[in-house]
Amino acid sequence: QVQLVESGGGVVQPGRSLRLSCAASGFTFSTYGMHWVRQAPGKGLEWVAVISYDGGNKYYADSVKGRFTISRDNSKNTLYLQMNSLRTEDTAVYYCAKDWKVGANVEIDYWGQGTLVTVSS
Amino acid sequence: QSALTQPASVSGSPGQSITISCTGTSSDVGGYNYVSWYQQHPGEAPKLMIYDVSNRPSGVSNRFSGSKSANTASLTISGLQAEDEADYYCSSYTTSNTLVFGTGTQVTVL
């Protein structure tokens, strides 16, 4: 079955960087778009970024554009999120998520359990 | 991209039906049939309940149904059960090749 396991979260000071990883299994990783979605404590879901199945297309939420970079390694079945210039408002649980449609980036079907990123001095 | 608008809370008694609305614009909900609905229990990851406006994934109860009219999508839960108490979020693909989520609705079973 589909498994998405995030790692790399933790406590970081404002202005610093952090890289999240998501190990995928149970499906053909190289044929699906992948997303990052975050949820601040007690708040709703916020879409962060998406990368196409081959890494050729990447799109970001305005709130992270220019600071976050999504990437993938299809040989390792792993998704990444490089987060630079972190702000206190980036504090959230970050979810890795799989698109349901082969070759597209339109809707999420499976989610990981999330990793908590806390930005605090 | 502004969040899609959902009611903050909806409640109903066991066995009743409730409907949650999700209002966007012609650039998201109204422009595509890529509207999804997610259920999230406290401390858990979201779970897909509806995709492509009205399709249910395998394993999701047929008490859940979705629809769309113009810029507003809806999720209906019929035969409300205690286990349905959770937060619900809609999502839509947008003209910017991004996704946008709704503000979220807390469903309470009275």
Average pLDDT, chain B: 97
For chain B, percent of residues with pLDDT exceeding 70: 100
Whole-angstrom CA distances from B101 to A29, A116, B2, B33 are: 24, 20, 9, 15
Q: Which residues of B touch A61 (CB under 8 A)?
A: 1, 98
Q: Provide the 3-class DSSP secondary structure of residue A31.
A: helix
**Could you tell me the two tokens for A8?**
């790399």
Instruction: Tell me the mean pLDDT per 10 residues along chain A, length 121.
Output: 97 98 97 97 97 95 97 98 98 97 90 98 94
Q: Token match 């595509």: residue? A: B32
Contact (Cβ atoms closer than 8 angstroms) between residue A65 and residue A86: no
- Taking Cα atoms as reference points, which of A19, A14, A7 lies closest to residue A115? A7
The amino acid present at A91, given as its one-letter code, is T
Q: Cα B48 from chain centroid?
A: 9
Reply yes or no on whether the pLDDT at B52 is more than 90.
yes
Residues 21-50 in B contacting A (C-alpha not used; CB under 8 Å): 32, 34, 36, 38, 40, 45-48
Q: Provide the 3-class DSSP secondary structure of residue A89.
A: helix
In the prediction, which pLDDT does A103 show?
83
Q: Which residues of A touch B37 (CB under 8 A)?
A: none
> Measured between CA atoms, how close is A95 to chain B, in angstroms?
8
In the prediction, which pLDDT does A43 show?
97
